[in-house]
Structures are given as C-alpha cells and as structure tokens.
Amino acid sequence: MDRYDGIVIGAGHNGLVCAAYLSRCGLKVAVLEAEREIGGGASTREFTLPGYKSNMHANFFIGLDDFPIVRDLALARHGFRYLTPDVQHAMVFRDGTAVVLHRDPKKSAASIARLSKRDAVAFGHLHQRYAVELAPLMRSFLFHPPLPREAVAERIGGQKGKDLLAFAPMTISSAIDAHFEHPKVRALFKLFAHAITVEDEPGTGLFLPSLFSSQTTLGLPVGGALELPRALERIILASGGAVVRGAAVREVFREGGRAAGVVLEDGKRLGASRFVASSLNAPASVRMAGEDAFPAEVNEKVRNWDWGFHSLMTLHLALSDRPRYAAEKYDADVGLSYNLIFGAEDDAQVVQNARERRAGKFPSQPMGNGSCNSQHDPSYAPKGGHVAFWWPGAPYALEGDAARWDAVKEGAAERLVGVWREFAPNLTRDTVRAAKLYTPLDIERGNRNMVRGAVRMGAYKADQLGVNRPHPLLSGMRTPLEGFYLCSSSCQGGGLNGAPGYNAAGVIAQDLGLGLWWEPLPAPALAAHA
C-alpha cells in the first residue's frame, strides 16, 4: 500500500491550495483527482474551435492582489500570472446607455452620476467604507474559519461595526434597494448577486459589503483558468508530493478510530499517516468518511443539502472580431470593460428572471454577465480571432426535467446569440465562427462535485452560510472523525480565492503541531473606536 503523510481528495483549486501549503510544511501529500484533468472549477478547454480557449467555470478571479495565496505560494514563480483591467465592469442597456465601473472609484461614481447623483454618492460611500477602510476586516472574514454570530458581534465594535452587522438580517435585494434608487443601478448590483448565485433570502444582506470590498479587483488568468491549478500542482510536486489523475475515491478507511487513508473505486488502498482532507462537496465528503462517524444532525443536514435554484448556461463564442456594443457611443469605456453585463433593463426584470428560473422555466428575458477574454489576453484565441462567453442564469431541471437541455441546447444557443446581438450588433453570421452552449446538465456531467449544476457546491442562503456552512460542527474545517478535514467550497469562503483550502491548511498544521511558514492574516476584529 502506498503511504503518504496526508491525502487530499479532489484536485480542484481548494484541494490543491490546501496540499500546497502543507507540502511546504514538509509533509508528503497526495492529491487524488477522479477526472482526467485537475482544476475542478478552474477549467480551460478548446470548446468551440481548435485554438480558442474557453474557461468553463471560473473566469473572474477576485482579489488576487490582496488575498494571501498568490503572495504566500509565490505563484508567479510557478507560472501563474493574471491581468487586472482598469475598466472592470460595464452594464449596457437596450436604449444605448450604460453604467461603467473602473478600478478608479471616482470614474465609477462619475458614470453612475449620469443616471443618479444620489447613487453616485452612495457608491462612493460604500466603496470607501468596505474596499478601503474595512478591507482588511473583510479579508479576515474569508481567510479564517467562520465565527458564530455572537462571537462576531463581540469582536466587531464601533459605529462602522454596527453598520456592517446591520446588513446581516437583510436580503441581498433589500440591501441594494436601501442604498440605491435608480432601477438601472439596482439592476447592475442585483446581477452581481446573480453572478455569485446568492439566494435572495433574509440573511444574505452581508453579500453587499462583501461585493464592495472586492468588486473592482477582478483578474483574468493569463492563458486560462487552468493555469492556477497547474501552478499549484508544480508546488506540490516540487515538495515531494503527488497529484494523481483518474483516482476516484470510494471511501475513507479508519484505523484506531481515526481516518487512516482511502480506498479508490478500483479497490486500491492508499495510506495517510497524519490526515485526510476532502475538497468534495459536503454530502459526498460525509458519505465517503462514513455517516456513522457523524451526529444525526449533521447527516440530516447534508442529506437535505440545498444545491440552490441558481445555475448557469454558458454561451461560448469563437469570433473574428470582439463584440462591439452599441453603448460604446454613450461611453467609449464600455469597449474596454472586462466584465460585460446585459439582458435586464431594470431591477424588476432581474426579479422576474429569478422567478422564472425558480419555476424551472427558460428565462423569457435572458440576462447575465460575460467577457471577451482575448481582448485583454490575446493568448486565448488564434491571431485574428477572439473568444467570448456569456453566463445567463438558468434552471437545472428545465420544465422539470434536466434531460430536456440536450434537446434544446442548439436552438437555445441561437436564441442567446440573437439576444447578445441586440447589444452588440456586429455579432452576425460573418463574425460568429462558432457558438456552443454549456448547459447546467453539462456542468454536472463535467464535474461530479457540482450536483444539479451547482457551481457554488451548495446554495448561498442563511442556513448554509458562515458557521452554518456546511454545519456548525463542520464549519471549522475539522470533523468528528479524527484526522478527517473539509476544505471545499461547501465551506465558508468559496469562490476562486482559495479560502477553504487556506483555512483547512492552517487548522491541520495547528492540529499536527507544525510550524507555519506563512504569516496568517489577523483574526476578524474591529476596535470599538473605529
């Protein structure tokens, strides 16, 4: 039996982050990936035509300048680079107007002021408060295991702390409505929430200050999202570890009442003398470790895990020219924007769109965000070509049956190109070399971790956020089974920031008595006088 100090199940970015940190602690770590390629949600394929690279899931890498994994792991030395365009977001409308957000908040406020001076002031206040003054606090919430609400309230003092915690009971929509008045500005921020698949329920209001803390830090991975997991793999291999593809884990085995290794689907056993960590979704992790190792309340929570009604259908295009938006006449910076948002004319349409998707219907008015990555990084497409994508929201079970996606995907792709053309008139047959739709069913087929097309591995709602993600007994990354840990997006943090992997590595290192070679971020706290 092959033996390692530790085994990480799943070679998505969180599993690889966890393994990379612990490998550099001197542990021999094996990362086991069921699929033929590593990366999980950080996936890049030539999906439309040869030479045209599409990021199949994650595209907008948020906060890399400020988050610890790029700095701690020196990812640039291992081949990972990213760009952060100055023009970050543009939402365009059918009447030719637009709202454009820049890295420079003054330019953003000026764009918003063309629609509403009051909203421009509100934007400036929220940006200053959460992207500047409280930015370290917002980062610390991500890069530490979550605290119970009572403990957060004790640590967060002063008026700024009260203002922040006042968002907690709100819905994300009510938080947006409380700060912005113009229907187009509200639509912009509500579609931001759509992009991260937040459920519009009480207890999600804190996503608004979270969005503001990082919404002008979107980075584009040079060469494709897959370059991040490849860089992490190089670190693990250089430290004496292993990353094994096509190694699907069937179960975690125990010795002396603790996790001691794994059994693969082909029956092969691999030993782990110090820890086993799972970057799979919470229900799969509990099943692999054995439900008998967990209290009844944990088993009940994961058996009833809410995957969310949100999923995405991604329209990928191979083009001879970038999309040229009619709204560029209103604001030329639209043509420079990294993240393009379109489909809704006001926030009421955003609400109607969500209602239709919750009912299992193909949206009558598709809306979402996307990008022309090759405009910013030419390596995404051959010379003279471009690659672009759009993420409209969609239900997994279309009209009650996910299998319907296979029958409708070609027609749906044509329809979505037509909607996009309403905003970018040059997307004609002469410009569009290929158009392919990646449906919620395709998401599930391509990544067994994203059940029902759940790109966040579980709904973002109050009882699945913070200390409740996935359950209070598991949210600290430890589990009741000694030696078995969680490090997936079913834990607090999620996204491409690597926070679950980072947090798990810190907890495991502490439990094993290892010296930390990195400097952890300070724990969440805000002085009463702040």
Report DSSP letters for 401-419, one per residue.
-TTHHHHHHHHHHHHHHHH
Residue 68 confidence (pLDDT): 95
Residue type, 479: T
Residue 181's alpha-carbon distances to 172, 188, 212, 459, in angstroms, are 15, 12, 17, 28
SS3 435: strand
* Residue 410: CB atoms within 10 Å: 12
What single string gives the DSSP state of each residue in 328-394? Answer: GGT-GGGGG-SEEEES-SSHHHHHHHHHHHHTTPPPSS--EEEE-HHHH-GGGS-TT-EEEEEEEEE
Let me know if residue 496 belongs to a domain. Answer: yes
Give a yes or no: residue 527 inside a domain: no
CA 490 vs. chain centroid, Å, equals 11
Question: Is 35 a member of any domain?
Answer: yes
Which pLDDT tens digits describe the chain residue by residue (530 residues)? Answer: 799 999 999 999 999 999 999 999 999 999 999 999 999 999 999 999 999 999 999 999 998 888 999 999 999 999 999 999 999 999 999 999 999 999 999 999 999 999 999 999 999 999 999 999 999 999 999 999 998 888 888 888 889 989 999 999 999 999 999 999 999 999 999 998 877 767 888 999 999 999 999 989 999 999 999 999 999 999 999 999 999 999 999 999 999 999 999 999 999 999 999 999 999 999 999 999 999 999 999 999 999 999 988 888 999 999 999 999 999 999 999 999 999 999 999 999 999 999 999 999 999 999 999 999 999 999 999 999 999 999 999 999 999 999 999 999 999 999 999 999 999 999 999 999 999 999 999 999 999 899 998 888 888 888 998 999 999 999 999 999 999 999 999 998 877 889 999 999 999 999 999 999 999 998 888 765 45
229 lies in some domain: yes
Predicted pLDDT of residue 100: 99
| The two structure tokens encoding residue 71 | 């700095």
Q: Which two tokens mark 509? A: 């290192």
According to the model, what pLDDT value does residue 198 have?
76
Q: Which residue in the block uniquely carries the two structure tokens 């083009």? A: 319
Residues 6+ apart with CB under 8 A from 296: none
Tally Cβ neighbours within 10 Å of residue 409: 17
Residue whose C-alpha is closest to residue 507's, from 516, 498, 496: 516
The kind and range of the H/E element at 262 are strand 258-264
Residues in a beta bridge with 243: 31
- CATH code of the domain covering residue 285: 3.50.50.60
Domains held by the chain: number: 1
**Predicted local confidence at residue 528, as pLDDT:** 54
Number of residues that make up the chain? 530
Q: What is the dihedral of CA 366, 369, 374, 375, to 10 degrees?
A: 110
The values of phi and psi at residue 258, to 5°, are: -130, 160
d(C-alpha 442, C-alpha 450), whole Å: 10
- The enclosing H or E element of 436 equals strand 432-438
pLDDT at 236: 99
Q: How far apart are CA 315 and CA 409, in angstroms?
A: 10
Is residue 263 situated within a structural domain? Answer: yes
Phi-psi region of 365 (alpha: psi -120 to 50; beta: other; left: phi over 0): beta
Q: Tell me if 179 is assigned to some domain.
A: no
262 within domain boundaries: yes
**Structure tokens, 256:** 């002396």
- pLDDT value for 255: 97
pLDDT of residue 354: 92
Q: What is the pLDDT of residue 450?
A: 92
Indicate left, alpha or beta for 207 from its phi (over 0: left) and psi (-120 to 50: alpha): alpha
Instruction: Tell me, yes or no, whether 294 lies in a domain.
Output: yes
Q: Give dist(CA 210, CA 522) in Å, integer.
A: 18
Range of the domain at 236: 2-41+223-306+457-511
Q: Which residues contact 6 (CB under 8 A, 6 or more apart)?
A: 19, 22, 27, 28, 29, 30, 272, 274, 275, 276, 277, 508
* Residue 48: predicted pLDDT: 98
Is the bond into 470 cis (omega within 30 degrees of 0)?
A: yes
